[in-house]
Amino acid sequence: MENKRDIIKMFVNNESISEKRTLKGSNLIAYYISGTQKRVLKNYSTIIALVDVNKNYNKIIINKTHYSQTTSRNQNLLRFYATQSGCEVEEIEEREIYQRLED
């Protein structure tokens, strides 16, 4: 089991994650949605980040909805690692994340 910083960094950099390999650690899970080129990062059952590889491999879409201090820390780590890696960051509301999953 990885620590949350490692999971977030690997999610942003698409390291050690594939359609067959999921990243897990305490309250975080990162995986590809089966049959798509979309990868998500969940905090418990809430999607806090999405990457749609088909549309823009280098764009991290972050759920900007506030839930808790823990989720806020994870969202801040996503922003930090995305910026550090040169990724584009887009922040949207939770409902928009789920709409993009359907696209």
Per-run averaged pLDDT (10 residues), the chain, 103 residues: 87 86 90 90 94 84 92 94 94 94 85
d(CA 86, CA 33): 24
The predicted structure's pLDDT at residue 15: 86
Q: Mark 75-98 as b/e (b = at least 16 C-beta within 10 Å).
A: bebbbebbeeeebeeeeeeeebbe
Kindly state the tokens that stand for 60.
């991290």
Give residue 94's pLDDT. 92
In the chain, the amino acid numbered 76 is: N
> What pLDDT does 19 receive?
78
Residue 23 and residue 58: Cα distance in Å, rounded? Answer: 19
The pLDDT score that the predictor gives to residue 103 is 80
Query: Strand 28-32's sheet: what is its strand order?
Result: 23-25, 28-32, 38-43, 46-52, 59-63, 88-92
